[in-house]
A and B are shown apart, each in its own frame.
Chain A
Amino acid sequence: MTTPTTFDTAITVRAEPVEAGAGTSTSSVRTGRVALPTKGPLLSGKGWSAFFVALIVVCAVAPVLNMWVPADSPLHMSDYAVALVGKIMCYAICALAMDLIWGYTGILSLGHGLFFALGGYMMGMYLMRQIGRDGNYKSDLPDFMVFLDWKTLPWHWTFSDSFIATLILIVAVPGLIAFVFGFFAFRSRIKGVYFSIITQAMTFAAMLLFFRNETGFGGNNGFTDFKRILGIPIATQEMRMTIFALTGVTLLAFFLFAKWLIASKFGRVLQAIRDAESRVMFSGYNPLPYKLSIWVISAVMCGVAGALYVPQVGIINPSEMSAANSIEIAIWAAVGGRASLIGPIIGAFIVNGAKSWLTVAYPEYWLYFLGALFIAVTLFLPNGIVGLVRQWLSREKAAPVAASPARAEAQRSLATEQGMEPEAIAAPLHAEPKGARA
């Protein structure tokens, strides 16, 4: 587009162009260019260190502790712990996905369990085919099909034999369903609680569909009794550890990806949509492709998590699509802290850690605990555990540090003007609430 300079010739521009605020303001005294903030690195130095420590723990330390440290050593990581942590890492991926769509974009989905289950079912189909003729009925078809007296594989099992096709389907099926659903929902400008309700309805409807035997996904029993993956027995310690490490690496990779997304202008547009969608539109952005992109990304992340989950727990059935599962994902994100990427991961670990301990120790109290936790977080920790920690940290850092370099400079210049010590003028600023950025 051309600049509107063509107007100048025709319209009588005021003879004395008023210089904006010249001489009247104190801030325009500053000469030279305004110091614009530069884009920071993806992770800080400490952040990268923590990232690589986590990577080493998942890929090297955990396998060593599980497989080579003797079982009677206190350092030994039991198979139970491996299974538990592996499962929780899958949940953490879901919580991270939920955070992108809820924490950053402000769209609460109560249907992410569906995408998780779809990814799981895609993986499950492959694992069922891998059983081969070793099933109870010694047939080429999966057991439940023999039981239903089916003679051939249904059409949607066509590619279930190929691992590569399965990997593609794990991404494509949740992605496509999310795309179609999201396109119509966002195009109709369905927002807020209405969107949450229809996502809940969506996963519930899918659950009912998958409960039916005719759908061809094993009905309410789902898939289980997996034997092999890529021809390798699945129940061995090595295989478990491999999937465990793969899950950890996926979680870390998704974390980096999410970090990159949020740091880009794309991420800021998402937050802008959350804060003031109409302003985003009147700034020239069409929110639909933005919402749809993050919605599909989020769904695909859940799908991948589901695909990693199924070989670790050894079963997938329609109960994964139940309403409660989707709501739990939202709880993990809320407990850990929305709109911070590490928060949901911490939240998933804390809530699920507590769940696995409490359901063993005091099974009857788990649901009360979950309810109380959710109420407590809503009432006292609007920014979750991460928000609380940040608040503490900023309180500890109550040393004379100004909120921004620009402000620090302004204070200094003001202080020198008035012949005061800079600290003296900085002092009242600490009364301000800190950590306003959630």
Chain B
Amino acid sequence: MTPDLMEAGAERAARAKGQPHDTGATESGGRTAGFSRIATPGEVDVTHGRILYLEDVSVSFDGFKAINKLSLDIAPGELRCIIGPNGAGKTTMMDIITGKTRPDEGTVFFGSTIDLLRHKEAEIAQLGIGRKFQKPTVFEHLTVFENLELALKTDKGVRASMLFRLDSAQSDRLAEVLETIHLAASVSRMAGNLSHGQKQWLEIGMLLMQDPKLLLLDEPVAGMTDEETARTAELFLTLKGKHSLMVVEHDMSFIRTISEIVTVLCDGSVLAQGSLDEVQADERVIEVYLGR
């Protein structure tokens, strides 16, 4: 190495020392976005501070544009509420994220590296996106216990299922979720015999068993009593931070309890975004809700 190069190096080192250190405190939790990160296949990369990106997504059914150039992103740990009039494309958006519907155009990314459009429903679920349907969908002829056991995060291949035995860590997890969803006393009951609200809770419990990074919840408190709704709100607030949540709901008081940022969808694209008070004061939002 020549002296002038060494000199230049020493100079650079001195300059670097003088600059404030990178604290590593990024929105995504300590990891810096840069060129030299290792992307692990199947691992969600949230170093850019976004767990879900939708960009210019469009889909039409028989000429009807259900989703029209929709762009939306969600941060890790965020609890995002989505509202919008009927037919705004809320459920279709969830269908696109979970792989049920293929968009005509646009990109959908989970983290920075996983292109969700390349995956099937089951793979997307295994990547860490859980979904609760609008109508509670549980396995009616299985018990509450069996429902939760099925949803448990584990190897979901055929052979693994044939030889599956619940280990103690998994039993603990199951017991914990049963307590969380208040169905501990109904553990051996058939899911089909549960009340509507209990089915909703069971489905949420099944999502929790999957331990997803992102939860999509389509009208989670529909048909629940006020007490059940309050409990659900509490539950969601505890999940926030550890998981990212996207909640579609019509119950405004419920949204007021849980929301930070509310996104208003209308005619398949984002109409407004902000706190609930902000969007409720928005002229355009008032128009789509009341004007028609």
Number of interface residues of B (CB under 8 A): 82
CB pair A286 B122 closer than 8 Å: yes
CB pair B156 A272 closer than 8 Å: no
CB pair B76 A281 closer than 8 Å: no
Which of B49, B187, B211 has the most CB atoms of chain A within a 10 A radius of its CB? Answer: B187
A198 on interface, CB distance cutoff 8 Å: no
Given contacts A10-B77, A13-B241, A281-B121, contact A36 B227 (CB under 8 A): no
Considering the complex, which residues of chain A in the window 88-135 have a beta carbon less than 8 Å from any beta carbon of chain B? none
- The segment out of A52-60, A244-252, A260-268, A386-394 that lies at the interface is A260-268
CB pair B240 A281 closer than 8 Å: no
A46 on interface, CB distance cutoff 8 Å: no
- The segment out of A23-31, A158-166, A170-178 that lies at the interface is A23-31
Q: Which residues of B contact A436 (CB under 8 A)?
A: 190, 192-193
Q: Mark each residue of chain A from 400 to 413: 1 if its CB lies under 8 Å from any CB of chain B, else 0.
A: 00011111011000
A4 on interface, CB distance cutoff 8 Å: yes
Q: Which residues of B contact A266 (CB under 8 A)?
A: 158, 161-162, 164
CB pair B77 A37 closer than 8 Å: no
- The size class of the interface chain A forms with chain B is 35 or more
A1 on interface, CB distance cutoff 8 Å: yes
Once bound together, how far apart are the Cα atoms of A404 and B42, in whole Å?
41
Once bound together, how far apart are the Cα atoms of A222 and B226, in whole Å?
71
B175 on interface, CB distance cutoff 8 Å: yes
CB pair A24 B231 closer than 8 Å: yes
For the complex formed, measure the closest distance between the CB of A57 and the CB atoms of chain B, giving whole angstroms: 30
B126 on interface, CB distance cutoff 8 Å: yes
Q: Which residues of A contact B269 (CB under 8 A)?
A: none
Q: Which residues of B contact A361 (CB under 8 A)?
A: none
A360 on interface, CB distance cutoff 8 Å: no
B69 on interface, CB distance cutoff 8 Å: no
Once bound together, how far apart are the Cα atoms of A404 and B189, in whole Å?
7
Q: Which residues of B contact A30 (CB under 8 A)?
A: 184-185
CB pair A282 B184 closer than 8 Å: no
- The segment out of B129-137, B271-279, B284-292 that lies at the interface is B129-137
CB pair B150 A265 closer than 8 Å: yes
CB pair A406 B142 closer than 8 Å: no
For the complex formed, measure the closest distance between the CB of B173 and the CB atoms of chain A, giving whole angstroms: 11
A221 on interface, CB distance cutoff 8 Å: no
Q: Which residues of B contact A407 (CB under 8 A)?
A: 185-186, 188-189
List 22 A-B residue pairs with CB atoms under 8 Å apart, sorted by A's residue number.
A7-B29, A7-B76, A7-B244, A9-B30, A10-B26, A10-B27, A10-B77, A11-B241, A21-B234, A27-B185, A264-B164, A266-B158, A268-B142, A275-B141, A278-B100, A282-B131, A289-B158, A290-B161, A406-B188, A407-B185, A407-B186, A437-B190
Give me 18 other A-B pairs in contact (C-beta within 8 A), A6-B46, A17-B237 excluded: A3-B211, A6-B30, A10-B28, A18-B238, A27-B184, A28-B182, A28-B184, A30-B184, A33-B175, A269-B150, A272-B142, A278-B133, A283-B125, A293-B158, A404-B188, A406-B186, A410-B185, A436-B190
Instruction: Give chain B's interface residues, CB within 8 Å of chain A.
Output: 25-31, 42-43, 46, 49, 75-78, 98, 100, 120-123, 125-126, 128, 130-131, 133, 137-143, 145-146, 149-151, 153, 156-158, 161-166, 171-172, 174-175, 178-180, 182, 184-190, 192-193, 206, 210-211, 213, 227, 230-231, 234-235, 237-238, 240-244
Which 3 residue pairs of A and B lie closest in terms of their CB atoms, listed nearest first? A11-B77, A404-B188, A284-B125
